Amino acid sequence: MRGEFQVEERMLLKTDIEGHPRLDSPFALNDVVIDNGPVARLIDIKLIVNGEELVTYRADGLILSTPTGSTAYSLAAGGPILHPAMQAIVVSPIAAFSLSTRPMVFSATDILELRVGSEHGVAGLTLDGQISAPLSDTDRLIISQAGFRLKVVVFPTSSFYKVLKEKLHWGISPKGD
């Protein structure tokens, strides 16, 4: 009420499954996850960036996160930490079956197309851990920056770096000193 706050804008991801009805809510503040679904086997995920085929991941799945989501599942899978004010998309493989496969950071204006292939013919799609849908080998996913931003209220006593330091226990001796 005293006005001692700031409003930050955060980017969101939009997910379209070509040829399928829209998801109930195609937007994600944190991440879009493609995984091996009900069967614990490797899947192949082809990544095409702006129409150019880049790589086919052979992994348990793939995490596409916003800067806000970079400190969640993507971080646990070895992805980088991005400041939430940045405009970027992080792609982090989940248990990749290749030592040369690494997380990548793309421009928020890039259009990412994903095609999934699996021996068992199905995979799973989850947005922010809430919205889920099955995927088949014929599905084509298009991940892009949403056309709007989410406004978040932040307080000056709680900076991104302070929260990050507390969350990751940086600066605390493992001995408890």
Note whether residue 1 is domain-resident. no
User: For residue 142, what are the domain limits?
Assistant: 9-152
Q: Residue 176: which pLDDT band, with cuts at 50, 70 and 90?
A: low
pLDDT at residue 55, rounded to an integer: 95
Note whether residue 171 is domain-resident. no
Note whether residue 94 is domain-resident. yes
pLDDT at residue 175, rounded to an integer: 74
What's the rounded Cα separation, in Å, for the pair 49 and 55? 9
Model-level pTM? 0.91
**How many domains, the chain?**
1
- Condensed to tens digits (0 to 9), the pLDDT of residues 105-148 reads 999 999 999 999 888 777 999 999 998 898 888 889 999 999 99
Taking CB atoms within 8 Å and a gap of at least 24, the contacts of 35-40 are: 35/60, 35/61, 35/94, 35/123, 35/124, 35/126, 36/60, 36/61, 36/118, 36/123, 36/124, 37/118, 37/120, 37/122, 37/123, 37/124, 37/134, 37/135, 38/122, 38/124, 39/118, 39/120, 39/122
Note whether residue 157 is domain-resident. no
- Condensed to tens digits (0 to 9), the pLDDT of residues 42-89 reads 999 999 999 999 999 999 999 999 999 999 999 999 999 999 999 999
Note whether residue 4 is domain-resident. no
Note whether residue 163 is domain-resident. no
Q: What is the CATH classification number for the domain harbouring 135?
A: 2.60.200.30
pLDDT at residue 141, rounded to an integer: 95
Note whether residue 145 is domain-resident. yes
Phi, psi of 152 (to 5 degrees): -125, 135
pLDDT at residue 177, rounded to an integer: 58
pLDDT at residue 38, rounded to an integer: 78
- Condensed to tens digits (0 to 9), the pLDDT of residues 97-107 reads 988 889 999 99
